Amino acid sequence: MRPGLFTRRRFLGLASAASGAAVLRCETVSAPRHARTASALVDVNVSLSQWPLRRLALSNTTGLVAKLRGNNVISAWAGTFDGLLHKDLAGVNARLTHECQRNGRGVLRPFGSINPMLPDWEEELRRCADEHRMPGIRLHPNYHGYSLSDPNFARLLKLAAERRLIVQLALVMEDERMMHPLLQARPVDTAPLAGLVKQMPSLRLVLLNALRTLRAKPLLDLIAAGNVFVEISMLEGIGGVGNLLQQVPSTRVLFGSHAPLFYFESSLFKLRESPLSDEQMRNIRAANARTLAAAFQRRTML
């Protein structure tokens, strides 16, 4: 193209760039205008830092955010792999917050790691809510060595609910066949969970990586117990999302990719290959997550 010649192609390119810049300036937690579009996504299950057992293609934040933005993800709820094995969770959560602010490009929302077996966990929960201004926390009982029947876990849920924090509970992190023989983490036993949820009507609980092991009546009992949600990253089978929605309301299902440990496109394909109504698609892609995040917005305005 000759210098100075303003063609239609150039006009469209500039318009596209301007539109992308506008997206970056929006705050997704406050329900921006573009979040109401049918193609927008909220990914509730991504992780930063290094997976301890192998190198991942998108282990750097910049590359992960580029992948998310390239697929119209307007908000991604980010935990950190450091939260699995590091003992200094105060440092872990401070780094996570800083990384989301520095390289998140308006997309990443930090979810801090809390281990209720550590002596200062209540203070760390306060820091996550009041200092880091996190919308929620992420729990890994099978890596931190406690069961859901532990009294400290019940207290953690209660305190998180009082602070209007979203609680993400990871049941597994990877297929057991991929686990190192010295780092075997069995799936979390959810048997005590429904009873706890019934006692806490203000609790908002998201089960991560749950649909590989949690099915049938145990899943339905949990969904019926309270404000419990599942995401689709470990859902398997042809037409899996459609089959899930025959049992679980679409208002309780979220989009999650488990990136970068899983390929982001895997979860995206699960949506595309299932025959979903427009309402079901909107709920899963973004609407349900935005409803969950609304309590966080109210908390920050207090």
Predicted model pTM? 0.86
Check residue 259 and report its DSSP letter: B
Residue 14 in this model has a pLDDT that exceeds 50: no
- Are the C-beta atoms of 233 and 209 separated by less than 8 Å? yes
The β-bridge partners of 77 are: 109
**Tens of pLDDT, residues 176-235:** 777 778 788 889 999 999 999 999 999 999 999 999 999 999 999 999 999 999 999 999
Residue 42 in this model has a pLDDT that exceeds 60: yes
- Are the C-beta atoms of 275 and 16 separated by less than 8 Å? no
Q: What value does the mean pLDDT take over residues 148-158?
A: 98
Higher pLDDT, 32 or 69: 69
pLDDT band of 299, cuts 50, 70, 90:
low
Average pLDDT of the chain to the nearest whole number = 88
Higher pLDDT, 9 or 159: 159
Res 180: pLDDT? 78
**Tens of pLDDT, residues 284-298:** 999 999 999 987 665
**Tens of pLDDT, residues 52-64:** 988 999 999 999 9
Question: Which conformational region is residue 42 in: left (phi greater than 0), alpha (psi within -120 to 50 degrees), or beta?
Answer: beta
Superfamily in which the 32-301 domain is placed by CATH = Metal-dependent hydrolases (3.20.20.140)
Res 182: pLDDT? 79
Residue 25 in this model has a pLDDT that exceeds 70: no
Res 298: pLDDT? 58
Helices (H), 104-258: 121-126, 141-144, 151-162, 193-198, 216-225, 240-244
% pLDDT > 70, the chain? 85
